[in-house]
């Protein structure tokens, strides 16, 4: 049986506990054994090197240097890493080592919760198979600093309505990447747990986590 670790915590506005329950159920339906923890100390447990997948759901907060280093080493060694929205790519803002693994960091969401479009750029990728080429979404439209090495699967284009200097900017929404031997997957969709009810959001995350898992 493949084993996964979910670590949730940080800012409560992203409903990390509710999200952890949804992801746990998602992975168990795929045959994973799932362990859930609520402190970053879990990343420093040597046992994580035997896992198939780690899912951080931990907006902001802090990670100790030894914890970030241990997590990076596990992924470099082949453990998969996957997550969504601020739970993965607005976690541990002070840790550049963590950001080097994930491939991106949130910096703004102009207008807060708004309507925008998600555009699939890689319809041939199994993660995006059958997803509409462009679908409407209501959430925080994440403006991110991203690693150019990411393999981008979907983007969004900023209208400039809420920050005029962003007009026309095409921003990655979904990507996958490698960090050493490990696979890393990220989707910026999923501000609150109710967004798991959006079929496209749920399908993209489920497929992405399965892709990332060793």
Chain segment 154-205, per-residue pLDDT in tens: 999 999 999 999 999 999 999 999 999 999 999 999 999 999 999 999 999 9
pLDDT tens digits for 89-119? 999 999 999 999 999 999 999 999 999 999 9
Q: Tokens 């600093």: give the residue.
A: 145
What is the distance between the terminal CA atoms of the chain, rounded to a whole angstrom? 11
Sequence-distant (6+) residues with CB within 8 A of 17 are 8
Radius of gyration, CA atoms only, the chain: 16
Domains, the chain, ordered by start:
3-212 (3.40.50.880)
Give the pLDDT score at 152: 98
Give the pLDDT score at 76: 98
pTM of the predicted model, to two decimals?
0.97
Instruction: Burial-class residue 66 by CB neighbours within 10 Å (0-12, 13-18, 19+).
Output: exposed
Give the pLDDT score at 50: 97
CA distance 153 to 173: 8
Tell me the average pLDDT of the chain: 98
Give the pLDDT score at 39: 98
pLDDT tens digits for 120-157? 999 999 999 999 999 999 999 999 999 999 999 999 99
146, 121 contact by CB (below 8 A): no
pLDDT level of residue 22 (50, 70, 90 thresholds): very high
Backbone angles phi, psi at 98, to 5 degrees: -65, -45
Smallest CA-to-CA distance from 157 within 186, 208, 193, 118 is with 118
CA distance 84 to 172: 13
* Number of Cα atoms under 13 Å in the Cβ half of residue 83: 30
Backbone angles phi, psi at 211, to 5 degrees: -65, -45
């Amino acid at each position: 049986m493949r084993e996964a670790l979910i670590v949730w915590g940080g800012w409560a506005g992203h409903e990390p506990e509710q999200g952890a329950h949804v992801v746990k159920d998602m992975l168990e339906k795929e045959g994973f054994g799932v362990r859930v923890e609520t402190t970053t100390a879990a990343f420093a447990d040597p046992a994580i090197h035997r896992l198939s997948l780690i899912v951080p759901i931990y907006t902001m907060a802090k990670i100790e240097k030894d914890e970030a280093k241990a997590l990076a080493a596990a992924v470099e060694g082949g453990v998969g890493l996957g997550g969504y929205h601020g739970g993965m790519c607005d976690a541990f803002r002070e840790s550049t080592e963590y950001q080097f693994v994930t491939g991106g960091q949130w910096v703004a969401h102009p207008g807060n919760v708004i309507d925008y479009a998600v555009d699939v750029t890689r319809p041939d990728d199994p993660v995006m198979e059958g997803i509409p080429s462009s679908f409407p979404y209501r959430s925080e439209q994440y403006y991110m600093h991203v690693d150019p090495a990411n393999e981008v699967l979907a983007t969004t284009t900023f209208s400039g309505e809420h920050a005029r200097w962003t007009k026309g900017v095409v921003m990655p929404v979904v990507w996958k990447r490698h960090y050493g031997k490990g696979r890393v997957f990220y989707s910026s969709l999923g501000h609150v747990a109710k967004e798991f009810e959006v079929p496209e959001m749920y399908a993209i995350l489920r497929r992405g986590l399965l892709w990332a898992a060793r």
